[in-house]
A and B are shown apart, each in its own frame.
Chain A
Amino acid sequence: MRSTRAVTISPEPDEFAVLPVWQRIALQLGILSVITLAIVLASELLGLQFGGTVRRVLSLALVPLPLLLWLLLSALPEDRFARPRRRLVGVAILSGLCASAFGLPLVDDFFQIGQWLPLESVIQRIVGYTVTVGVVDVGIKFLVLRFMVLPQDLRARSDVVAYAMAAAVGYSFYINLVSIWRLDPVWELAAIVVLSNIVIQFASSMAMTLGIVASYFANAFPSVLPLSLVVAALSTGLIAPQVPGLTSGPLGTAGNITRPLYGIVFLLAVLLLSLAGTYFLYRNAERRQREITLGRGDGNGL
């Protein structure tokens, strides 16, 4: 008679050494989306409107919301783990500073997109946003990551995700601040502006993440990383021109009617698609790498 015994498979000790990123990112983006949706619904259904200084204060109060959520859920809890990602805050600050020093001046003053892009056809606008706003945003964030954390601070794939998210949050913070300050929109549109900027930066950062992970952890073909940057810039080109078009309704005799629900539905769909898509590709790459490594008999899993 064969004897049997229960075997307890303990999790690898390193699983708890670093803060898991995907759940945290999903949580902070989920909270931000719910708050934005609540503001839009309150304005649309309950007719909640503010005027003058109150509106400006409430709109500006939305600007630091993504940053605060990221600090509370991602950056600050790092210290509770054995191997914290120490450069997260530095990457976020440098990204914000670069957005201020290079990003916005390049887009507004050098490329002067307001002078010609809104007048172009749909395809021209997508291409135009890709090679101007997309390339500038992605280029700056990539260079920040390259010179702050790549490759010395990469210990695991999740590090790339965490640092790319930090760059997205820092970069979008400054863009949000300037957008809300200049446009002074109504509260619901301010919420959509904040969400749209974070979604645009998140989507491009995640596309970039896949390329960095493939290049640095799987030693992928040299064209994979630059291709991911192209996809990241293209994602900005695809999303950025659609949001104002969807949010602003058709021009009629009574004036321009805003349709914030159209904008927020589009943004939530993009957010879900980019989060799920990146997560699927990330996990798939990780699983394939693990299978290859186990096939080789390497114990450390890479």
Chain B
Amino acid sequence: MAFEVPRSPVAQLTQRQRLSLSLSYLVIAVGLLAGINQRDSALNLASVYANDEAGITAVHPARWLLEETGDFVFRVRDMSYRGFNTQIEVSTVAVGADNSARNVFDQLSLARAQSLIDYHVLGYDEYVLPDESSASSMAYSFVARDASPFLQGISSVVSGLDILIVRRGQAVIVSFRSDSRIYEREVSTLRWFIENLEF
């Protein structure tokens, strides 16, 4: 049985009600701040990768998948993205005194042209490292299909950037690949990765 009254009994707010409203706004604001904190700590959480054999220490996003099996030292991939997973791959090659950066890039391009669809080199440039030393870079693109033939997805255009750092007769190649639609947003992760890379 309803228990109703004919007019608003709360037209005038009491001191308690005013205080409860203020506290409610505060709770909502604190809740949003907690959400921002939770998001930032999850998205920016980093893990350290160290490989004594290759002499490489790197910091990568903790939520990215780390792989060490393959023709690279290690690779990390952002598995949360539904299309082509953004990835950073680190590999090493020995370079001779007469080996130029262009030779290394050409070898990479020859190998990739065999395995990647519509592989194109977009250009070569100089990349300034955080310690002001210079490295070489090569930008390229290719088309990636879904790994599973049962998924009827549309192919993605992938943009890539190789950064070649030569030190003490060893070249470290940092390969960054991302869906071209989110490349500009994701490339900040590469800069952060390079800043924390030690070898």
A, B: real partners: yes
Interface residues of A in 207-239 (CB under 8 A from B): 215-217, 219-226, 229-230, 233
The interface-forming segment of A30-38, A56-64, A149-157 is A149-157
Please give me the residue from chain A that is nearest to B28 by CB atom.
A139
- A116-B43, A119-B63, A120-B42 in contact; A135/B31 too (CB < 8 A)? yes
Q: Which A residues are CB-close (under 8 A) to B8?
A: 151-155
Q: Is the interface of A mostly helix, strand, loop or mixed?
A: helix
Digitize A101-116: 1 where CB-to-B-CB distance is under 8 Å, 0 elsewhere: 0000000000111111
Interface residues of B in 17-36 (CB under 8 A from A): 17, 19-21, 23-24, 26-28, 31-32, 34-36
Contact of A233 among B11, B23, B26, B31 (CB under 8 A): B31
Minimum CB–CB distance for A258 against chain B, Å: 17
Q: Do the beta carbons of A229 and B24 come within 8 Å of each other? A: yes
- The number of residues on chain A lying at the interface, defined by a beta carbon within 8 Å of a beta carbon of chain B, is 58
Q: Do the beta carbons of B39 and A151 come within 8 Å of each other? A: no
Minimum CB–CB distance for A68 against chain B, Å: 25
Digitize B35-71: 1 where CB-to-A-CB distance is under 8 Å, 0 elsewhere: 1101100110000000000000000000100000000
- A114-B80, A131-B34, A154-B10 in contact; A219/B5 too (CB < 8 A)? no
Alpha-carbon distance between A131 and B80 when the two chains are bound, in angstroms: 21
- The reply to whether the CB of A300 lies closer than 8 angstroms to some CB of chain B is yes
Alpha-carbon distance between A156 and B7 when the two chains are bound, in angstroms: 8
Q: Is the interface of B mostly helix, strand, loop or mixed?
A: helix
- The reply to whether the CB of B16 lies closer than 8 angstroms to some CB of chain A is yes
Q: Which A residues are CB-close (under 8 A) to B19?
A: 222
Alpha-carbon distance between A168 and B20 when the two chains are bound, in angstroms: 22
- A116-B39, A131-B38 in contact; A142/B31 too (CB < 8 A)? no
Alpha-carbon distance between A83 and B6 when the two chains are bound, in angstroms: 8
Q: Do the beta carbons of A115 and B43 come within 8 Å of each other? A: yes
Q: Which A residues are CB-close (under 8 A) to B36?
A: 111
Q: Do the beta carbons of B1 and A11 come within 8 Å of each other? A: yes
- A115-B43, A154-B10, A222-B23 in contact; A131/B35 too (CB < 8 A)? yes
Please give me the residue from chain A that is nearest to B31 by CB atom.
A135
Interface residues of B in 80-99 (CB under 8 A from A): 80
Minimum CB–CB distance for B153 against chain A, Å: 14
Alpha-carbon distance between A120 and B43 when the two chains are bound, in angstroms: 11
Q: Do the beta carbons of B20 and A155 come within 8 Å of each other? A: no
Alpha-carbon distance between A119 and B31 when the two chains are bound, in angstroms: 21
Contact of B1 among A15, A117, A229 (CB under 8 A): A15
Q: Do the beta carbons of A219 and B35 come within 8 Å of each other? A: no
Q: Which A residues are CB-close (under 8 A) to B10?
A: 151, 154, 216-217
Q: Which residues of B contact A (CB under 8 A)?
A: 1-11, 13-14, 16-17, 19-21, 23-24, 26-28, 31-32, 34-36, 38-39, 42-43, 63, 80
Q: Which residues of A contact B (CB under 8 A)?
A: 11-12, 14-15, 17-18, 20, 83, 111-120, 127-128, 130-132, 134-136, 138-139, 142-143, 146, 151-158, 215-217, 219-226, 229-230, 233, 286, 290, 300-302
